[in-house]
A and B are shown apart, each in its own frame.
Chain A
Amino acid sequence: MAPQQPLSWIRLTETKTSAAASGQASPGLLRPMSRQVTTFWGLLTLFAIAASSVHAETRQEGSPTEPDAAAVVASRDHESVASAQATLASEHWVWQPVQQFDVPSVSKSAWAQDSIDAFILARLDAEGLTPAEEVDALIWLRRVTFHLTGLPPTPRAIENFLADNSPAGRAKVVSRLLESPAFGECWAQHWLDLVRFAETKGHEQDSDIPYAWRYRDYVIRAFRANVPYDQFVREHIAGDLLPEPRIDPTTKTNQSIQGTGFWHLGEATHSPVDIRGEEADRVANQIDVFGKTFLGLTIACARCHDHKFDAITTADYYALCGFLQSSGYHLANVADPEAVNRVRDELVTLNQEMGPRIFASYERLVQPRLSRLPDQLLTSASQARHNLQKKEPVAEKTESPESDNDLAQELVEAKGDPTHPLHTFATAALNVDEKSSVEATTKAIKQALAQTESYQRDQQEHTRKRFSHLEVIATQKEGELNPVAERHPYDPAKHRIVCFSEGWDASNPAAWLTAETCFGDGPVDVGAWILTTCRDQPLRRIVQHRSACSSYISPHLTGLFRTRTFEVVGDKLWYRYRGTADVFMAVDSHRTVSGPLHASVKLKLESPGAYTWTAHQVDDYLGHRVHVEFSPTGDFELCEVRFSSKQPPNPLEPQSNWKTALSKEPPATLHELATATTNQFGAAIVAVGQKRGDSNAASWVNWLLAHDDLLPAADPQLLATYHEEARLYVDRRQAIEKRIPKPVLAIAMLDGNSENETIHIRGNHLDLASEPTPRRFLSALDREIKIASGSGRLQLAERLVDPENPLTARVFVNRVWQHLFGQGLVTSVDNFGELGTAPTHPELLDYLATEFVESDWNIQQLISRLVLSATYRMSSSPVAASRQRDPTNRWLHAAQVRRLNAENIRDAILAVAGELNDAQYGPSVHIHITDFMRHNRSAGGGPVDGDRRRSIYVEVRRNAPGHIFAAFDKPTPFTTTGRRFQSNSAAQPLILLNDPFVHQQARSWATHLVNRYEQDEAALTNAYLTALARPPDNAERLRIEQYLKKRLGNHPTQDHRIETWTEICLTLYNVKEFVFLL
Chain B
Amino acid sequence: MHCGKFLPQPCSRREFLSRSAGGVGAIALESLWAAEGWAKNQLSGLGQFHHAPRAKNIIFLYMDGGVSQVDSFDPKPRLTQEHGKPFPARIEPTQFDSIGTTMACPWKFSQHGESGIWVSELFPHVATCADKLAVVRNMVSQFSEHNSANYFLHTGFGQAGLPSMGAWISYGLGSASANLPAFIVINGGLIPSGGMDNFSAGFLPALHQGTIFKPQEIPIANLKPPAPISDEQRALLRDLDILVAERFHHDDAVESTISNYELAFRMQTTVPELADLSDESAHTHRLYGLDADFEPTQIFGRECLLARRMIERGVRFIELTCPQTPGNDRWDAHSDLKKNHSENALATDQPIAGLLKDLDQRGLLEETLVVWSGEFGRTPFAQGSNGRDHNPFGFTIWLAGAGIAAGTVYGETDEFGYRAVGSETTIHDLHATMLHLLGVDHTRLTFRFGGRDMRLTDVHGKIVEPILA
Interface of A with B (CB < 8 Å)? Answer: 20, 23-24, 30, 32-33, 35-36, 38-40, 43-47, 49-54, 202-204, 206, 267, 269, 271-274, 281, 285, 288, 292, 297-298, 301, 310, 479-481, 595-597, 823, 827-828, 830-831, 833, 835-837, 876-877, 888-890, 897-899, 930-933, 935-937, 958-961, 963, 966-969, 971-977, 981-991, 993-996, 999, 1033, 1035-1036, 1039-1040, 1043, 1046-1047, 1062-1064, 1066-1068, 1070-1073, 1075-1076, 1078
Q: Nearest-CB distance from B301 to chain A (Å)?
A: 21
Check if A999 sits within 8 Å of B450, measured CB to CB.
no
Q: What 0/1 readout, one digit per residue, does chain B (134-168) give for beta carbons within 8 Å of chain A? A: 00000010111111100010001111111000000
Check if A827 sits within 8 Å of B144, measured CB to CB.
no
Check if B256 sits within 8 Å of A984, measured CB to CB.
yes
A contact residues around B211 at 8 Å (CB): 986-987
Q: Which residue of B lies closest to A886 (CB)?
A: B37
Check if A989 sits within 8 Å of B264, measured CB to CB.
yes
Chain A CB within 8 A of B227 CB: yes
Check if B459 sits within 8 Å of A888, measured CB to CB.
no
In the complex, A44 Cα to B453 Cα: how many Å?
Answer: 9
From B42, B227, B454, A40 is in contact (CB under 8 Å) with B454
User: What is the count of residue pairs linking A and B with beta-carbon distances less than 8 angstroms?
Assistant: 332
In the complex, A969 Cα to B230 Cα: how many Å?
Answer: 29
Chain A CB within 8 A of B19 CB: no
In the complex, A1038 Cα to B469 Cα: how many Å?
Answer: 65
Check if A985 sits within 8 Å of B206, measured CB to CB.
yes
Answer whether A202 and B142 are a contact pair too, CB < 8 Å, given A38-B157, A958-B195: no
A contact residues around B99 at 8 Å (CB): 480
In the complex, A969 Cα to B142 Cα: how many Å?
Answer: 30
A contact residues around B459 at 8 Å (CB): 30, 33, 43-46, 49
Check if A1033 sits within 8 Å of B243, measured CB to CB.
yes
Check if A932 sits within 8 Å of B221, measured CB to CB.
yes
- 7 residue pairs, one from A and one from B, having the closest CB atoms: A974-B161, A959-B195, A298-B451, A935-B191, A983-B205, A989-B264, A827-B38
In the complex, A877 Cα to B248 Cα: how many Å?
Answer: 8
A contact residues around B145 at 8 Å (CB): 203-204, 269, 271-273
From A288, A480, A837, A994, B450 is in contact (CB under 8 Å) with A288
Q: Which residue of B lies closest to A310 (CB)?
A: B451
Check if A273 sits within 8 Å of B93, measured CB to CB.
yes
Q: What 0/1 readout, one digit per residue, does chain B (27-44) give for beta carbons within 8 Å of chain A? A: 001100110111010110
Check if B452 sits within 8 Å of A935, measured CB to CB.
no
Check if B443 sits within 8 Å of A49, measured CB to CB.
yes
Q: Nearest-CB distance from A120 to chain B (Å)?
A: 16
Check if A40 sits within 8 Å of B209, measured CB to CB.
no
Q: Which of B425-469 contact A (CB under 8 A)?
A: 443-444, 446, 448, 450-455, 458-460
In the complex, A310 Cα to B42 Cα: how many Å?
Answer: 21
From B143, B227, B244, B458, A1072 is in contact (CB under 8 Å) with B244
Interface of B with A (CB < 8 Å)? Answer: 1-2, 26, 29-30, 33-34, 36-38, 40, 42-43, 90-99, 140, 142-148, 152, 156-162, 181, 187, 189-191, 193-197, 200, 202-203, 205-207, 209, 211-212, 214, 220-227, 229-230, 232-233, 236-237, 239-241, 243-245, 247-249, 251, 253-254, 256-258, 260-261, 263-265, 267, 324, 443-444, 446, 448, 450-455, 458-460
Check if B147 sits within 8 Å of A204, measured CB to CB.
yes
Check if B30 sits within 8 Å of A876, measured CB to CB.
no
B contact residues around A930 at 8 Å (CB): 221
In the complex, A271 Cα to B187 Cα: how many Å?
Answer: 26
10 contacts between A and B (CB under 8 A): A269-B148, A959-B197, A966-B206, A969-B206, A984-B253, A986-B260, A989-B260, A993-B264, A994-B222, A1040-B236
Q: Which residue of B lies closest to A988 (CB)?
A: B260
Check if A479 sits within 8 Å of B443, measured CB to CB.
no
B contact residues around A310 at 8 Å (CB): 451
In the complex, A968 Cα to B209 Cα: how many Å?
Answer: 11
Check if A203 sits within 8 Å of B2, measured CB to CB.
no
Answer whether A1039 and B91 are a contact pair too, CB < 8 Å, given A597-B96, A889-B37, A967-B206: no
Check if B97 sits within 8 Å of A1036, measured CB to CB.
no
B contact residues around A996 at 8 Å (CB): 226
Check if B195 sits within 8 Å of A1043, measured CB to CB.
no
Main secondary structure of the interface of A (DSSP, over half): loop
Check if B237 sits within 8 Å of A203, measured CB to CB.
no
Check if B147 sits within 8 Å of A203, measured CB to CB.
yes
Check if A479 sits within 8 Å of B91, measured CB to CB.
yes
Check if A46 sits within 8 Å of B36, measured CB to CB.
no
Q: Which residue of A lies closest to B443 (CB)?
A: A49
B contact residues around A595 at 8 Å (CB): 96
A contact residues around B148 at 8 Å (CB): 38, 203, 269, 272
B contact residues around A990 at 8 Å (CB): 220-223, 264, 267
A contact residues around B256 at 8 Å (CB): 984
Q: Nearest-CB distance from B443 to chain A (Å)?
A: 6
Q: Nearest-CB distance from A1052 to chain B (Å)?
A: 16
B contact residues around A1075 at 8 Å (CB): 257
A contact residues around B206 at 8 Å (CB): 966-969, 981, 983, 985, 987
Answer whether A972 and B160 are a contact pair too, CB < 8 Å, given A272-B145, A995-B222: yes
Answer whether A46 and B455 are a contact pair too, CB < 8 Å, given A479-B91, A982-B253, A1043-B232: yes
Q: Which residue of A lies closest to B457 (CB)?
A: A46
Answer whether A51 and B1 are a contact pair too, CB < 8 Å, given A831-B450, A897-B254, A959-B196: yes
Check if B194 sits within 8 Å of A202, measured CB to CB.
yes
B contact residues around A827 at 8 Å (CB): 37-38
Check if A823 sits within 8 Å of B38, measured CB to CB.
yes
From B209, B233, B450, A292 is in contact (CB under 8 Å) with B450
Q: Nearest-CB distance from B185 to chain A (Å)?
A: 10
A contact residues around B455 at 8 Å (CB): 46, 50
B contact residues around A273 at 8 Å (CB): 92-95, 143-145
Q: Which residue of B lies closest to A967 (CB)?
A: B206
A contact residues around B30 at 8 Å (CB): 983-984
Q: Nearest-CB distance from B286 to chain A (Å)?
A: 29
Answer whether A39 and B257 are a contact pair too, CB < 8 Å, given A24-B443, A1071-B241: no
Answer whether A596 and B214 are a contact pair too, CB < 8 Å, given A301-B451, A837-B38, A1073-B247: no
B contact residues around A988 at 8 Å (CB): 257, 260, 264
B contact residues around A890 at 8 Å (CB): 37
A contact residues around B221 at 8 Å (CB): 930-932, 963, 987, 990
Check if A596 sits within 8 Å of B195, measured CB to CB.
no
Check if B36 sits within 8 Å of A888, measured CB to CB.
yes
Answer whether A1067 and B237 are a contact pair too, CB < 8 Å, given A273-B94, A990-B267: yes
A contact residues around B193 at 8 Å (CB): 203-204, 937
Q: Nearest-CB distance from A996 to chain B (Å)?
A: 5
Q: Nearest-CB distance from A982 to chain B (Å)?
A: 7
In the complex, A1076 Cα to B152 Cα: how many Å?
Answer: 37
From A53, A597, A958, A983, B160 is in contact (CB under 8 Å) with A958
A contact residues around B26 at 8 Å (CB): 985-986
Q: Which residue of A lies closest to B1 (CB)?
A: A53
A contact residues around B142 at 8 Å (CB): 35-36, 38
Q: Which residue of A lies closest to B36 (CB)?
A: A888
Answer whether A969 and B446 are a contact pair too, CB < 8 Å, given A827-B37, A990-B267, A996-B226: no
Q: Nearest-CB distance from B279 to chain A (Å)?
A: 24
Check if A972 sits within 8 Å of B214, measured CB to CB.
no
In the complex, A297 Cα to B187 Cα: how many Å?
Answer: 40
A contact residues around B194 at 8 Å (CB): 202-204, 959
In the complex, A358 Cα to B162 Cα: how many Å?
Answer: 66
B contact residues around A828 at 8 Å (CB): 38
